[in-house]
Amino acid sequence: MNEARKATMTIDREFKIAEVDERIYGSFIEHLGRAVYGGIYEPGHPKATAGGYRQDVIDLVKELQVPIVRYPGGNMVSAYNWEDGVGPLEDRPKRLELAWRVLEPNHVGTNEFVDWAKLADTDVMMAVNLGTRGIDAARNLLEYCNHPEGSYWSDLRKEHGYAAPHAIKTWCLGNEMDGPWQVGHKTADEYGRLASETAKAMRLVDPTIELVACGSSNINMPTFPQWEATTLDHTYEDVDYISLHQYYGNRSNDSASYLAKTLDMDRFIETVIATCDYIKAKKRSKKKMYLSFDEWNVWYHSNEADRQLEPWSVAPPQLEDVYNFEDALLVGSMLMSFLRRADRVKMACMAQLVNVIAPIMTENGGDAWRQTIFFPYMHVSVFGRGTSLQPVIQSPTYDTKEYTDVPHLDSAVVFNEEADELTIFALNRHLEEALDLHIDVRGFEGYRIAEHIVLENGDLKAVNTAGKQSVQPHRNGTSKLEDGRVTARLSNASWHVLRLKASSE
């Protein structure tokens, strides 16, 4: 190998951040665009199950090993009547869906989504409407879902064909209530009081649930982080998580800054943790607040097309970002941010899962296919289970229009002690030059490189389409392990998964 820029990393199995909560590999399905209708549900499609769920989509969701899916919104939940989506199909009303200005036929509702989640091997994270509704609708929905029987709402569920309770554990108290675009938008005091009282009623129905309070819609909200402080002042002892949402885009076509966006994301996470801990101290509480990063992704390609859509159609193609190669790099980097704070980030949902800003796309009546961002998501979800370790890293840095001192190397490390596997995720942010990564793994005696997966492409703007998968990982990474040291060549702008395993002989 010729000399290239050099970064070093030291990994020690004792430098533990925390056990990775697999729910950080969650995702999100909203009644929006073709996520539900034409995405997970398309009766009559050649690959549909008897219930109308697309098996080809389920297979791809299983490839991603998605442990939990947030539902039914999103902005949509803030004007949603959950009762519209249960009971005989022919009785379900068509409604004006206000968040995305479409017609909602309500052919899929709570029970159908729970059925789908079972087929896809995933759990449901349910959001309640704290926009147009409140305590009553939330406690009734919980009773409908989780109470065994003998009450009005639980018996109605049984009448609807679901004898066993759905046992949904995780519940979101509204969605982005800080956002002026939200139907029923509230001030932090209004929301905090409502969330606290809703939490109280819901826990009386089912004390085993976990609750997520709404944090800010993104780091640039003018009310951030005071929103978190005020909300938690009202709810600290009532909830288990505070949510974070963040989307990025490369609108100014400045890829050097774009790949550094996770510096911003790390700062977002750190600030929310600091705010949680401030309220904890203020309240002399013993409880630790955890983070649910329950919407994150790249979102900007489809903005213009969405502005052209006429309102009030059923399942139009909304938010159908076609992702390119550099988006995949940023997605890998965002996932590594969660691993670095695995001690506090316990849930995260890639928004969303199918057709709407999604790793999985479908054609109505046709095939399902993988977007570029599918691959880093799959890699970290499948191989990033175990204990997140804190590597000691030295990397050259660069400056961009938006950031200074950006490390060329972005990385996270997960050790799976049971499987005797060490996985190093790495991104070379340098757009033109390779980076030689030297990793000290002397504490992992007897390990060998099992696999070096690479996602690279000469064109940052390369995309996948239904017929052509131009961006795909390969397994021919250049790396070797000698005397407890790994040397790996990371080509310019590339994503890597280095999997080390204890030798069997």
> What does the binding site for ligand AHR look like in residue numbers (CB under 6 A)?
30, 73-75, 175-176, 217, 295, 351-352
Structure tokens at 373: 């961002």
Nearer to ligand AHR, 97 or 456 (CB): 97
Nearer to ligand AHR, 176 or 456 (CB): 176
Instruction: Yes or no: say if 448 and 460 are a contact pair by the CB < 8 Å rule.
Output: no
How far apart CA 123 and CA 67 sit, in angstroms, is 6
CA distances 106 to 36, 37, 80, 181, 314, Å, are 10, 10, 10, 23, 10
To ligand AHR, the closest distance from the beta carbon of 496 in angstroms equals 29
Phi and psi for 130 in degrees, rounded to 5? -110, 20
To ligand AHR, the closest distance from the beta carbon of 490 in angstroms equals 32
Nearer to ligand AHR, 74 or 105 (CB): 74
User: CA quadruple 468, 306, 35, 459: dihedral positive or negative?
Assistant: positive
Nearer to ligand AHR, 329 or 351 (CB): 351
Instruction: Yes or no: say if 249 and 299 are a contact pair by the CB < 8 Å rule.
Output: yes
Nearer to ligand AHR, 95 or 438 (CB): 95
To ligand AHR, the closest distance from the beta carbon of 425 in angstroms equals 25
Instruction: Yes or no: say if 329 and 375 are a contact pair by the CB < 8 Å rule.
Output: no
**Strand (E) or helix (H) holding 26:** strand 26-28
Nearer to ligand AHR, 176 or 421 (CB): 176
Nearest to 73 by CA among 210, 182, 197: 182
Query: How many Cα atoms are found within 13 Å in the side-chain-facing hemisphere of 210?
Result: 15
Count of other CB atoms within 10 angstroms of residue 258: 23
- Rounded to a whole number of angstroms, the distance between the first and last alpha carbons of the chain is 30
Nearer to ligand AHR, 176 or 238 (CB): 176
Characterize the bridge pairing of strands 16-19 and 26-28: unpaired
To ligand AHR, the closest distance from the beta carbon of 327 in angstroms equals 15
To ligand AHR, the closest distance from the beta carbon of 228 in angstroms equals 16
How far apart CA 78 and CA 177 sit, in angstroms, is 9
Characterize the bridge pairing of strands 435-440 and 5-10: parallel
To ligand AHR, the closest distance from the beta carbon of 209 in angstroms equals 21
Catalytic positions, please? 176, 295
To ligand AHR, the closest distance from the beta carbon of 356 in angstroms equals 7
To ligand AHR, the closest distance from the beta carbon of 92 in angstroms equals 22
Helix, strand or coil, per DSSP, at residue 95: strand
- Tell whether omega for the bond before 72 is within 30 degrees of 0, i.e. cis: yes
Nearer to ligand AHR, 221 or 382 (CB): 221
Buried b (16+ CB within 10 A) or exposed e, 222-237: ebbbebbbbbbbbbbe
Using a 10 angstrom Cβ sphere, with 0-12 exposed, 13-18 middle and 19 or more buried, the burial of residue 435 is buried
Nearer to ligand AHR, 176 or 410 (CB): 176
Length of the chain: 505
Residue nearest to ligand AHR (CB): 74
- Tell whether omega for the bond before 225 is within 30 degrees of 0, i.e. cis: yes
**Strand (E) or helix (H) holding 409:** strand 409-416
To ligand AHR, the closest distance from the beta carbon of 210 in angstroms equals 19
Counts for the chain of helices (H) and strands (E), in that order: 11, 25
